[in-house]
Chain A
Amino acid sequence: MRNQIVIDPITRIEGHSKITIHLDDAGEVTDAQFHVTQFRGFERIVQGRPIHEMPSIMARICGICPVSHLVASSKACDEILAVEPPPTGADLRRVMNLAQIVQSNALSFFHLSSPDLLFGFDADPAKRNIIGVAQANPGLARDGVGVRRFGQQIIEWLGGKRIHPAWVVPGGVDAPLSAETRDRILSTIPEAVAAIERALAWYKSSLVRWEDEAAAFGDIRTAFMGLVDQAGNVDYYDGLLRVMDAEGRLLADRIDPRSYQEYLGETVEPWSYLKSTYWKVLGYPDGIYRVGPLARVIVAAQMGTPRADLELDEFRRRLGRVPSSSFHYHYARLIDTLYAAERIDELLRGPEILSPRVRAFAEINRNEGIGVSEAPRGTLIHHYRVNDDGIVEWANLVIATGHNNLAMNRSVRQVAKRYVKSAKLSEPMLNRVEAVIRCFDPCLSCSTHALGEMALQLQLIGPDGAVLDELVR
């Protein structure tokens, strides 16, 4: 006899998904699966579109990380044009990409995860949300608004308008940076850094509270992957792939990410539209790895900015060189955010940042291009093939959530085994299963945005398919 619990949809993540939890005759969890039920058709709808349209189309895939798709897409287009953006153009792309990291990370930490961290996973769901945070800890909530706004404003100021900031284009960026905009951005950085550091202090002060929770919160042995620069430090825009195993040993280093197909396999399970990627050498599903903030701070030697490096040192003293629990995505995400704010400051103070040389122009010179960058949730790959007229014939997008899919499934299984007991469903159990997914901050928003508010549905289904129990909130 098999029973099944279905959580559909999951709240406080991007897009639509559900979790099924399989029970045996004794009511013990035997398996759990994270399903993405929204069909992602973007690789098909771009076929037949001119290559110069790709960045602006790709930027509309996601409401949370449009710049990430914009950057990866433009880099793929650079390859097809066979151009290298001028150094200032590349630096300005970096600034915008880092601003994206800031605003998306802020949404994840302050608005999606802080309710759990502030009130606890067992708290009343009526207050365990952003409004509840605003009432209980308005300073934290205001910092969340402020940090996200900081990143969002940079994107809008660089893009020049608030509707479609398609400023990143094939060959570089569309217009140089003005001294006024640079100074405006620079003036906002100190408060953003201060807010991020307040959040770090608050999080670290409560870390001990979550030690037991973290031990069964996606605490799994996997490899980690991210981009690093020549010095081995984090690199969000360029860089080479580094893969480290659970012991801290390098599985691969200094891999040109454009050769990703040699190293990464992709597979689709029949129960989900989301592709799972795996490290080919280890095969499927043993080639499980994680990407994103936790992976970035693990694979990198250092962050490369003063304050973030101090925080990384403390992170490693507290948790070790390769912490295995996915719970620590939260901590890593704050360090990631701090680095991004500091690095934006460094880039904007560069002597050539106001140079008018920001874009290279060319016609179609290649029929294939691959663009890779670090998005908030991890390594993002755009791969296009075009005909001689520059019309897209094929596209493949490898998104961070796909890299993390196997790890998310394994994490859900671990949490379910600890907290789901028989057919007795409880809200805290439900929230924990969701919360382990939120650690990865999966982005599935390439779907219609919710028309009306979505309910959370939890179903217990018997072996004959009948619904034995149901919770809706």
Chain B
Amino acid sequence: MTNGVLVVGYGNALRTDDGLGRHAAERLADDPRLDGVTVIGRQQLTPDLALDVSRACLVVFVDASHGPPAGSFTIERMERTGTRATAWSHQLSPSSLVALARELYGEAPDVFLVSVGVKSLDLGDRLSPVVEATLPRLVDAVADLVADRAVRDGTMPVADNDCA
């Protein structure tokens, strides 16, 4: 484990709010509060990310969701469960990706899921206004999440991306 912090925003940027994670990743990558944090934007989670996940001490997944009301979001810690099989190996869920990392590399980080409620999944490369308006708060929340972790542990200077 190299003990970095990894943020993965994912979704289809041509399906309006489905691409929320990608839009968030762009903003997070440019945010100075997250200097040193690895930010990845992907259309979907794929198995090659297992190595990145295994090398992190903290992973934050940012994705669109049908769960919360449009424009609001939830942050949940993902439970450390056993290996979870999936029928969809081309497009892994966060839990399957973490399970794969654990199986292959023996390491699995703390994981948080940031789920943002969607309004539209139509074709289009722009977020709906209500979801777009959420992005600044979302970026703040992710930055706080990473910083809080650093403060709590007292061992993770975010600028160095090191929580060892």
Interface residues, chain A, with chain B CB atoms under 8 Å away: 11-14, 41-42, 45, 57, 60-64, 66, 103, 106-107, 110-112, 115, 125-127, 129-132, 134-135, 138, 141-142, 144-145, 148-149, 152, 161-164, 445-454, 456, 473
Contacts and interface: CB of A to CB of B under 8 A. Distances in A.
Contact of A149 (B29, B48, B88, B118): B48
Contacts of B80: none
A141 B47 CA distance: 9
B22 A127 contact: no
Contact of B88 (A152, A164, A453): A453
Interface stretch (B6-14, B70-78, B141-149): B6-14
13 contacts: A12-B88, A12-B90, A57-B125, A60-B14, A62-B43, A63-B12, A63-B42, A111-B47, A145-B104, A149-B51, A162-B39, A164-B41, A449-B15
A66 B10 CA distance: 14
Q: Find the residue from A63, A126, A152 having the highest chain B CB count within 10 A.
A: A63
Contact of A131 (B12, B96, B124, B125): B96
Given A42-B14, A60-B14, A148 B47 contact: yes
B128 interface: no
A309 B2 CA distance: 39
B18 A449 contact: yes
Contacts of B40: 162-163
Interface in B1-59: 10-15, 18, 22, 25-26, 29, 39-44, 46-48, 50-51
Q: Find the residue from B51, B90, B96, B103 having the highest chain A CB count within 10 A.
A: B90
B100 A447 contact: no
B91 interface: yes
B83 to A, nearest CB: 6
Given A60-B13, A60-B125, A451-B65, A129 B104 contact: no
A145 B91 CA distance: 14
A382 to B, nearest CB: 15
Interface string B82-103: 0111111111110010011001
Contacts of A62: 43
Given A12-B88, A111-B90, 19 more contacts: A12-B87, A45-B14, A57-B14, A66-B43, A111-B46, A111-B89, A115-B89, A126-B85, A131-B84, A131-B96, A131-B99, A162-B29, A163-B22, A163-B40, A164-B41, A445-B12, A449-B15, A449-B44, A453-B93
A142 B66 contact: no
B52 to A, nearest CB: 9
A449 B48 contact: no
Contacts of A448: 12, 15, 18, 121
B50 to A, nearest CB: 5
Binding site secondary structure of chain A: loop
Nearest to A106: B48
Contacts of B124: 45
A144 B47 contact: yes
A329 B78 CA distance: 38
B87 to A, nearest CB: 4
Contact of B15 (A138, A149, A447): A447
B104 A63 contact: no
A449 B18 CA distance: 7
A324 B65 CA distance: 44
Contacts of B11: 449
Contacts of A145: 47-48, 50-51, 104
Contacts of A141: 100, 103-104
Given A131-B83, A134-B100, A449-B12, A163 B48 contact: no
Q: Find the residue from A60, A142, A144 having the highest chain B CB count within 10 A.
A: A60
Contacts of A61: 14
Contacts of A453: 86-88, 93
B123 interface: yes
B64 interface: yes
Given A45-B123, A131-B100, A453-B93, A447 B29 contact: no
